[in-house]
Structure 1
């Protein structure tokens, strides 16, 4: 059985059998991201339900609160990164979020109906911060562990851990929400974060096996640098600024699609349980399709087409999808577009965009990447949320707003090709 699993890793996933520790490092990385996404996909439908419960008109304020929280949290995270080595600051970060989950369990259990609305808004903001931070930290860690060649071979399969976690989390939420309630689901997520901490610790130890002594010594030192170096480095490098632009375009278009989702859910599903199940079922559909692509196609597509064309897949899908949504608005077109876009994102774009960070310094992998993944991402949310609110107030329909996303997606497509080409040049001439 063990030999069969090893052959699968070598043939399907392209694990290097001659590299000491690579298979074990991949396995612990997979468990690490599986635990994170399982926790997040348990929390995500709860966040969506609580966000919609306050009314779609309040979503721009929730996105504003999220951006403020990100701006406050980012220098605090930079301080932790500067002071402690990676395995320690990962433990501190995740256990901080575990304490937060305990607090929300108590608040949701004890809150009156009116207080529950405000608790729900706080929870919406918290989950929006939580998911970007914990996932950004994970990818920073594995980019620090694996080199560019390993990333091309392994990151596609590694992303299956995220997808599998999403599938299991969506199914658990849909099946257990009426049995254990939202508080019980929060407790399950807390346990999963502890599993992520343990996996990160094991990965840190095992990764030493395929690094030279100088790399091992550097890996166990604090990253150092200034509290605001992530911000300054972003704006001083055209390459990093390009990555920030890529994330900004993704965030803008995602938020426009999110407003369509919230509007459809509010119109089609009158009660909280049905809305939670609807969101969970969409997640289940997306993750099932994504898993198939990730296992058998992602690594091969990146190898066959190159990084530049792989990065272009999501913007191209967005051009087509928003065009269709502007002409044929409604739940059927939305679900099809959401499924195709998210499959393209999780199976191709996310692994590919993380490869971009193999071409930057260690400080940029942790600080600049975290700034881009969190503050820049949520700034895009903020810009799109208030733009959507303003356009709706001016009388534009959701289909009209979808049309606005088409030229944004075209610009995103051009930037994606430039970024992928720049990383490929770096790898060729380094």
Structure 2
């Protein structure tokens, strides 16, 4: 009797929650469990990261603004080593094992850094290593998350739900800097690493909860008509991420998008570091400014994700949503060229990152709902980590070369303006490629269908 009562109440609860969620997101009753687990999962991940982000940015400044290109290069080299290791893990283990393993690895690494910083030996070297580690951590945990989401949800579901799921991350991005600002003095900045580690463990438990939902048992690939065991090992080689990208025009176009995003973001990051370093002498004040930027971005992003993202993606598709980021970048660099001051860089960072997180990122993640499982995990991780950080490293040296040629901040900003215009055109084309793949079924590799006129 008790068992029957419990099971009869569960659909009623789901329907009640679904009716209230429908006011802000187009969700169906059978998707509610997975949607809420994914929301909390992403909240924990980004809250953990954004607790660390102001510390990372301050350590980047402490290690020397002139050395930032070396830190970006170091991050790229670490990524080159990490991607095939992740590919080997995906090839040999089911997702219920390799996803938690990734988070537990970063959790243990975080505890190790806490110990090194407590010892206070070789602080500059530890600061440089921590900057690289946080940069790797950020991309890896997020790309594993979105690969998992693309494996669980179909293309049509992604357009409806990814904006709301991304809002969970945005809420975490709001709480993270707030915790840093509130706890940095009473706990000390170093002890915040343990708070971040606790949140990573919470994210790992969310993975386990998500895998028990109906969506995980009837996931994206099954729904497209290719039944399989959702817990099956993906297989393939450790270098499959690279080979899948090279063979696919669609994935190569995503790489171009990531490289141009990296180029413009790196230019803006270097300009932000130079302007903030010139405006403040105190490390505490610099950390505070970085945290306030994160907080303002989070507030603006959350408002858009909860009210507009899903509707805009359904109405216009991924291409225009992605291209909007390029247009914001174009206008922002033009403004920064005219007035390279602290207020301009803070406003530009806030609007650009809000557009990126609220619209561009959910749109970009839907790009992977129309590719194969191996491409979702391996090719995606290669693009999001090695390609992205390779773009960061190359962009850092390009920025340094432009400075070496005598260009000031305003001149470099003008260089970025036509690059952003080209980027917008490419993103509109990428959106059309995705639409063709989705129309063709999107069940296999992303190379054949994307070639169709």
TM-score, normalization by structure 2: 0.91
1:429 is displaced (CA, Å) by 3.4
Counting only pairs closer than 5 Å after superposition, residues 114-133 of structure 1 correspond to structure 2 as: 115-133=122-140
Query: Which of 52, 74, 77 is matched with 2:86 structurally?
Result: 77
Verify the 8 A CA contact 2:18 2:28 in the aligned structure 1. Answer: no
CA-to-partner distance for each residue in 1:212-251, whole Å, 9 max, x for gaps?
5997743201111111111111111110000011111101
Q: What residue is the counterpart of 1:182 in the other structure?
A: 189
Counting only pairs closer than 5 Å after superposition, residues 286-365 of structure 1 correspond to structure 2 as: 286-365=297-376
Taking the aligned partners of 2:334 and 2:50, their CA distance within structure 1 comes to 29
Worse-matched range after superposition: 162-171 or 384-393: 384-393
Taking the aligned partners of 2:341 and 2:20, their CA distance within structure 1 comes to 42
- Number of equivalent positions: 425
Worse-matched range after superposition: 203-212 or 27-36: 203-212
1:209 is displaced (CA, Å) by 4.7
Please say if 1:92 is aligned against 2:101. yes
3-state SS of paired residue (1:218) = coil
Q: What residue is the counterpart of 1:419 in the other structure?
A: 430
CA-to-partner distance for each residue in 1:259-292, whole Å, 9 max, x for gaps?
0110012111211111111101100001001100
Taking the aligned partners of 2:83 and 2:246, their CA distance within structure 1 comes to 16
Taking the aligned partners of 1:4 and 1:201, their CA distance within structure 2 comes to 24
Query: Which of 363, 369, 384 is matched with 1:373 structurally?
Result: 384
Gaps of 5+ in 1: none
Q: What residue is the counterpart of 2:5 in the other structure?
A: none
Query: Which of 136, 157, 171 is matched with 1:150 structurally?
Result: 157
Please say if 1:262 is aligned against 2:269. no
Q: What residue is the counterpart of 1:105 in the other structure?
A: 114
Please say if 1:220 is aligned against 2:231. yes
User: 1:66 and 1:169, CA in 2 relative to 1: closer, same or farther beyond 3 A?
Assistant: same
Taking the aligned partners of 2:45 and 2:93, their CA distance within structure 1 comes to 22
Taking the aligned partners of 1:292 and 1:34, their CA distance within structure 2 comes to 15
1:326 is displaced (CA, Å) by 1.0
Taking the aligned partners of 2:318 and 2:105, their CA distance within structure 1 comes to 36
User: RMSD of the alignment, in Å?
Assistant: 1.6
3-state SS of paired residue (2:212) = helix
Taking the aligned partners of 1:198 and 1:216, their CA distance within structure 2 comes to 27
Gaps of 5+ in 2: 1-11, 442-453
Worse-matched range after superposition: 142-151 or 174-183: 174-183
3-state SS of paired residue (1:89) = helix
Verify the 8 A CA contact 1:136 1:369 in the aligned structure 2. Answer: yes
Please say if 1:170 is aligned against 2:181. no
1:339 is displaced (CA, Å) by 1.0
Taking the aligned partners of 2:227 and 2:342, their CA distance within structure 1 comes to 51
CA-to-partner distance for each residue in 1:4-49, whole Å, 9 max, x for gaps?
64322123211013xx3x1000000011100000000000000000
Verify the 8 A CA contact 2:174 2:298 in the aligned structure 1. Answer: yes
Please say if 1:64 is aligned against 2:76. no
Q: What residue is the counterpart of 2:216 in the other structure?
A: 208
3-state SS of paired residue (1:98) = helix
Query: Which of 190, 198, 202 is matched with 1:191 structurally?
Result: 198
Q: What residue is the counterpart of 1:26 in the other structure?
A: 35
Query: Which of 24, 36, 45 is matched with 1:12 structurally?
Result: 24
Q: What residue is the counterpart of 1:138 in the other structure?
A: 145
TM-score, normalization by structure 1: 0.96
Taking the aligned partners of 2:88 and 2:305, their CA distance within structure 1 comes to 35
Verify the 8 A CA contact 1:36 1:162 in the aligned structure 2. Answer: yes
Taking the aligned partners of 1:310 and 1:394, their CA distance within structure 2 comes to 35
Verify the 8 A CA contact 2:177 2:294 in the aligned structure 1. Answer: yes
Q: What residue is the counterpart of 2:3 in the other structure?
A: none
Taking the aligned partners of 2:350 and 2:398, their CA distance within structure 1 comes to 24
Verify the 8 A CA contact 1:323 1:406 in the aligned structure 2. Answer: yes
Verify the 8 A CA contact 1:174 1:276 in the aligned structure 2. Answer: no
Worse-matched range after superposition: 50-59 or 217-226: 217-226
Verify the 8 A CA contact 2:76 2:386 in the aligned structure 1. Answer: yes
